[in-house]
């Protein structure tokens, strides 16, 4: 996918939230072997070093793997951001990062604009290819954009059929921001949805494949998490079938504004 600063990014990748370092090492190695070219981590996850080691030991060239890490909310602020980025690069043992994101806006702290200024400078120095945010509502984005010459290339938010974020996606589109979905399967809870089971059965695929295909057909980037090698392959194998317009509408209609995580306005 082409980002607003010209950077190319794979549409589908692997998220490693809540994956312990030892498991992360083997998981990322396996993911690269089966064809993944995007890995999404964060300083808060505690597994950046394992992600870096897996990529360095892989037969896949570093330049062919898109790696995202994130600035934790306790590191918001200009100087703190520069230090946190340096630590992430050290953990990964990389010379540069493909994408760096503000993990949460933590609006009551009033520091995300200072962090964004630092991140813009890091991008200008060539230490990170593209910069984005995560868990930003439209009003956070409006504030950020109004105080900077650089708009985020990506906003990574909780998004799945029960929380389809349609209004936020429209805001993103109007500002050239790519929407990237975390918890794209509602942490597995979505598998209980009867309508999805019916579509999966008629298509001869799994519910997970149906939902991930829905994300991709909507033009969303997506980072499903799994520690299963079989699921790694299954989640990647969604580009040889298409959901009909009627099936897409059915999935669109499942929205209930249901979050598995915290509302970003409340996380400070």
Tokens coding 260:
């598995």
What's the pLDDT band for 109 if we cut at 50, 70, 90? very high
- Which residue, among 89, 149, 74, has the nearest Cα to 116 in the 3D structure? 149
Question: Pick from 193, 205, 192: which is nearest to 233 by CA?
Answer: 205
pLDDT reported for residue 161: 98
User: What's the confidence (pLDDT) of residue 260?
Assistant: 97
Closest CA to 182 of 4, 27, 13: 13
With respect to residue 34, please indicate whether it lies within any of the assigned structural domains.
Answer: yes
Residue 82 counted as domain residue: yes
Confidence of residue 33 (pLDDT cuts 50, 70, 90): very high
Residue 8 placed within a domain:
no
The stretch 187-215 carries a mean pLDDT of 97
Domain of 75, CATH number, reads 3.20.20.100
Cβ-count burial 61-87 (b if 16+ within 10 Å, e if not) = eeeebbbbbbbbbebbbeebbbebbee
pLDDT of residue 114: 98
> 32: closest CA among 22, 24, 21?
24
Could you give the CA distance from residue 141 to residue 124 in angstroms, rounded to a whole number? Answer: 21
Q: Is residue 173 part of a domain?
A: yes
Q: Rounded CA gap, 207 and 224, in Å?
A: 13
Q: Is residue 75 part of a domain?
A: yes
| Domain, as residue range, for 42 | 14-188+218-227
100 is catalytic: no
pLDDT of the residue at 58: 97
Mean pLDDT of 196-201: 98
Percent of the chain at pLDDT exceeding 90: 100
pLDDT in tens, 76-106: 999 999 999 999 999 999 999 999 999 999 9
Query: Length of the chain, please?
Result: 268
The pLDDT, as a whole number, for residue 257 is 97
Number of domains in the chain: 1
Q: Please give the average per-residue pLDDT across 161-186, as a whole number.
A: 98
pLDDT tens digits, 116-137: 999 999 999 999 999 999 999 9
Question: In this structure, is residue 26 part of a structural domain?
Answer: yes
User: pLDDT class for 19, splitting at 50, 70, 90?
Assistant: very high
Summarize the confidence of residues 151-158 as an average pLDDT: 98
Is residue 264 included in any domain, yes or no?
no
Give the Cα-Cα-Cα angle 32, 128, 17 (nearest 5 degrees).
50
In this structure, what token pair is assigned to residue 201? 């059965």
The structure tokens listed for 5 are 């600063």
173-183 pLDDT tens trace: 999 999 999 99
Q: Mean pLDDT over residues 234-260, rounded?
A: 97
- Among 17, 36, 45, 78, the active-site one is 45
Position 117 in a domain: yes
């Amino acid at each position: 996918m082409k980002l607003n600063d010209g950077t190319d990014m794979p549409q589908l990748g692997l998220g490693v939230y809540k994956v312990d370092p030892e498991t992360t090492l083997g998981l990322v190695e396996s993911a690269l072997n089966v064809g993944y070219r995007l890995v999404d981590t964060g300083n808060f996850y505690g597994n950046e070093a394992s992600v870096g080691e897996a990529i360095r030991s892989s037969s896949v060239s570093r330049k062919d793997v898109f790696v995202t890490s994130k600035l934790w909310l306790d590191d918001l602020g200009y100087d703190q951001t520069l230090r946190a980025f340096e630590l992430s690069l050290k953990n990964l043992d990389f010379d540069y990062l493909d994408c760096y994101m503000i993990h949460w806006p933590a609006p009551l702290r009033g520091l995300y604009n200072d962090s964004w200024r630092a991140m813009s400078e890091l991008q200008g120095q060539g230490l990170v290819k593209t910069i984005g945010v995560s868990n930003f509502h439209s009003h956070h984005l409006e504030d950020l954009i109004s105080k900077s010459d650089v708009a985020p290339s990506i906003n990574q938010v909780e998004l799945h059929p029960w929380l389809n974020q349609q209004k936020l996606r429209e805001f993103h589109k109007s500002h050239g921001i790519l929407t990237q979905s975390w918890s794209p399967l509602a942490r597995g809870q979505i598998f209980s949805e009867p309508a999805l089971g019916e579509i999966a059965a008629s298509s001869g695929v799994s519910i997970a494949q149906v939902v991930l295909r829905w994300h991709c057909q909507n033009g969303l980037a997506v980072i499903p998490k799994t520690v299963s090698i079989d699921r790694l392959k299954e989640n990647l194998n969604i580009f040889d079938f298409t959901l009909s317009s009627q099936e897409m509408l059915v999935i669109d209609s499942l929205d209930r504004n249901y979050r598995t995580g915290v509302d970003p306005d409340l996380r400070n």
